[in-house]
Amino acid sequence: MLSQEIFKKRRQKLFDAMIDNSVSIVISASEHERTNDVVSAYRQDGNFYYLTGIKESHCAAVLFKRKDQCVYYFFSRVRDPLQCQWFGDLIGQDGAISNYGADSAFPLDLLDEKMLTLLSNCRRVYYSFGRRPEFDARFNAWIVTLRKKVRAAINAPHEITNLDKIVHEMRLIKDADELALIQKAIDIDGQAQIRACKTCKPGMYEYELEAEIRYEFVKNGAMHVSFDPIIAGGANACTLHYGANNQKLNDGDLVLVDIGCEYEYYASDLTRTFPVNGKFSPEQKAIYELVLEAQLAAIEKIGPKYAVGDAHKVSVEVITRGLCKLGILQGDLATLIKEDAYKPFYMHHLGHWMGLDAHDVGEYYIDGKGRPLRPGMIQTAEPGIYINPNTPGVDKKWWGIGVRIEDDVLVTQDGYKVLSAAVPKTVDEIEHIKAAK
Ligand code: MG
Ligand code: MG
C-alpha cells in the first residue's frame, strides 16, 4: 500500500501548479447499478485516488490556495452507525483529518454551502468538467449563484481550467512506489497466463480458462480485473474486443488470452496467444513469429531517444514486409505502407499508457506530434495480425488466425525495461510449457 506521505506530496505538487487565489475540485467516482438494487463493485476514480488515497464513494476533495496558504478540504458521508452496519466502516470527518491528511473535513451535505464560500472571489477553478454530468450541473449552479452576487462585492470565478491536464501529466510519470505495485500486478498476470497455457486443452470452453485466470488473480490478492478478460479461441481472436468467452476451444486452433488484473489499484495488461493442443501449425507459427518480430523491433524504439509513434511505425514496417513474404500482401513495400494495405490485418495502434487505469490517462500527441518518451512512462507493446475467415484475396490456409502479443514496457533513463519479460513468448518456450505439463 502507498503511504499517506505519497498522496500528500502529490497534492503539494498540484498546489504548486495552481495559481494564487484558485480552487481545485476533485470528485469521487459514482456508483453504478448492475441490476435492480445491486451495484457493481465500486472502483474509485483514478484522479481522485491518486490525490487522496481514498477508496470510498460519495466524497469530494477541494484544494484551496490563497496568498500561498494551501488548505485541503474534504467532504464525505457522516459515520452513521446504521450505514456502517450494512456497508462497512466509513472514513468520516475525523478519519479524513487524522488518517488521510485533510486540513478540514465536512459532511457531504454541506458541500453546496461551503463551495459558495470557497469559490467567492476565486480567480480560477480547476475542475474535470464533462466527466460526471450530474456533478457538472451542481458545479454550474454554484457559478450561476455567485454571478448573481456581483453587486454584493462577490465575483464568480473568472476562469475554469481542466484539472485533468495537470493531474494526467503527473500520473504519466510513475515513481518507484507505483512501479513496485505495477510490477506486482504484472507478475500475477504472468502467472495467470502460464496457468492458462498449461491448463488449456482441446474441448475446454473459453470460460474455463477465464476461471483459471480469475482464480490466479484473486488467490494472489488482485481482487479485480483491470478490464474484462478476452479469451478468444480460433477466429474469435479476430474480434479485437471479443468478450463472450463462451465457445469451445478446438483442437488445431490458437487461443488469444488478453488479460489484466489490478493490484492495489494499479493495472497490468498482457496478451499471449498459444495453440490449444500445444503445437503451432506451420501457418500459425509463421504468423506468430511475424507478430513477435514486429513486437521485438517495436520495443527497441521505446526509450528517451524516441517519441510516441516511432515504435508503432516500425511494427507496421515489419508486419507489412512479413505479410508480403507470406504472400498475403503483394506489391511495393513503401506503397503498401503509404496506402495502409496492412490495416485489414493490423488495424489498431501498437499500445497505450498503463498505470492506475489499464488504458491510462495522458496525452499521446502534442500539437499534432508524438510526444517524446520520458523515463517513468509505461506503455504496452501489442502488435497483432488478424485474418478474418473469408478474407477475399487471401489463401484459405490463413483464415481465422488471430495473434496478438502484448507486454508492458517501462521507459528508463537509457532505454526500456520489459516489465513482463518473465512471461514466455517464443514458439519454443510456449510449446515447451505445453509439453511439460
Ligand atoms: Mg491487453
Ligand atoms: Mg492493451
Output the CA 132–ligand 2 centroid distance in Å: 25
CB 182 within 8 A of CB 270: no
Output the CA 283–ligand 2 centroid distance in Å: 25
Q: Long-range contacts for 224-228 (Cβ within 8 Å, ≥24 apart)? A: 224/41, 224/43, 224/261, 224/262, 225/259, 225/260, 225/261, 225/262, 226/185, 226/260, 226/261, 226/262, 226/267, 226/268, 226/269, 226/357, 226/358, 227/260, 227/269, 227/358, 227/359
Indicate the pairing of strand 124-127 with strand 159-161.
parallel
Output the CA 79–ligand 1 centroid distance in Å: 40
The pLDDT value given to residue 68? 79
d(CA 261, CA 126): 31
d(CA 372, CA 232): 34
- Cell 500528500 -> residue: 8
Q: Report residue 87 as a C-alpha cell.
A: 456497508
Averaged over 174-186, what is the pLDDT?
A: 97
Give the SS3 label for residue 240. Answer: coil
Assigned CATH topology for domain 4-171 = Creatine Amidinohydrolase; Chain A, domain 1 (3.40.350)
Instruction: Please check the confidence at residue 54 and state whether its pLDDT lies above 70.
Output: yes
Give the SS3 label for residue 383. Answer: coil
Give the SS3 label for residue 104. Answer: strand
Positions of E strands within 264-386: 266-267, 270-275, 365-366, 369-370, 378-381, 384-386
d(CA 276, CA 234): 9
Output the CA 382–ligand 1 centroid distance in Å: 7
Phi first, then psi, for residue 408 (nearest 5°) are -105, 125
CB 283 within 8 A of CB 427: no
Could you report the per-residue pLDDT of 337-393, keeping only the tens digit for each?
999 999 999 999 999 999 999 999 999 999 999 999 999 999 999 999 999 999 999
pLDDT classification of 65: cutoffs 50, 70, 90? very high
Which one of the ligands is nearest to 357 CA? Answer: 2
Give residue 422's identity as a one-letter amino acid code. Answer: A
| Residues at Cβ < 5 Å from ligand 1 ion | 258, 269, 271, 406
Output the CA 144–ligand 2 centroid distance in Å: 42
Which residues on adjacent β-strands are paired with residue 369?
366
Residue 179, Cβ density class (10 Å: 0-12 exposed, 13-18 middle, ≥19 buried): middle
Q: Report residue 9 as a C-alpha cell.
A: 506530496
Q: How far, in Å, are 61, 116, 121, 152, 297 from residue 145 at the CA level?
A: 21, 8, 13, 12, 58
Mean pLDDT of the chain: 96
What is the number of residues in the chain? 437
Let me know the angle formed at the C-alpha of 405 by 267 and 292, rounded to the nearest 5 degrees: 140
Indicate the pairing of strand 124-127 with strand 22-27.
parallel
- Cell 474469435 -> residue: 236
Averaged over 102-116, what is the pLDDT?
A: 98
Could you report the per-residue pLDDT of 269-303, keeping only the tens digit for each?
999 999 999 999 999 999 999 999 999 999 999 99
What are the extents of the domains in the chain?
A: 4-171, 173-436
Q: Report residue 119 as a C-alpha cell.
A: 469559490
Which one of the ligands is nearest to 358 CA? Answer: 2
Could you report the per-residue pLDDT of 397-417, keeping only the tens digit for each?
999 999 999 999 999 999 999
Could you report the per-residue pLDDT of 348-359, keeping only the tens digit for each?
999 999 999 999
CB 25 within 8 A of CB 127: yes
pLDDT classification of 87: cutoffs 50, 70, 90? confident
What sign does the CA torsion over 101, 107, 109, 114 have? negative
Q: Which of the two residues, 40 and 434, has the higher pLDDT score?
A: 40
Could you report the per-residue pLDDT of 133-166, keeping only the tens digit for each?
999 999 999 999 999 998 889 999 999 999 999 9
d(CA 371, CA 358): 20
Percent pLDDT > 70 in the chain is 100
User: End-to-end distance of the chain based on CA atoms, in angstroms?
Assistant: 35
Give the SS3 label for residue 352. Answer: coil
Q: Report residue 224 as a C-alpha cell.
A: 479485480
| CATH dotted code for 173-436 | 3.90.230.10
Output the CA 258–ligand 1 centroid distance in Å: 5
pLDDT classification of 116: cutoffs 50, 70, 90? very high
Instruction: Please check the confidence at residue 336 and state whether its pLDDT lies above 60.
Output: yes
Which one of the ligands is nearest to 189 CA? Answer: 1
Percent pLDDT > 90 in the chain is 95
The pLDDT value given to residue 437? 56
Positions marked active-site: 37, 241, 258, 269, 348, 352, 359, 382, 386, 404, 406
pTM for the full model?
A: 0.96
Could you report the per-residue pLDDT of 72-85, keeping only the tens digit for each?
999 999 999 998 99
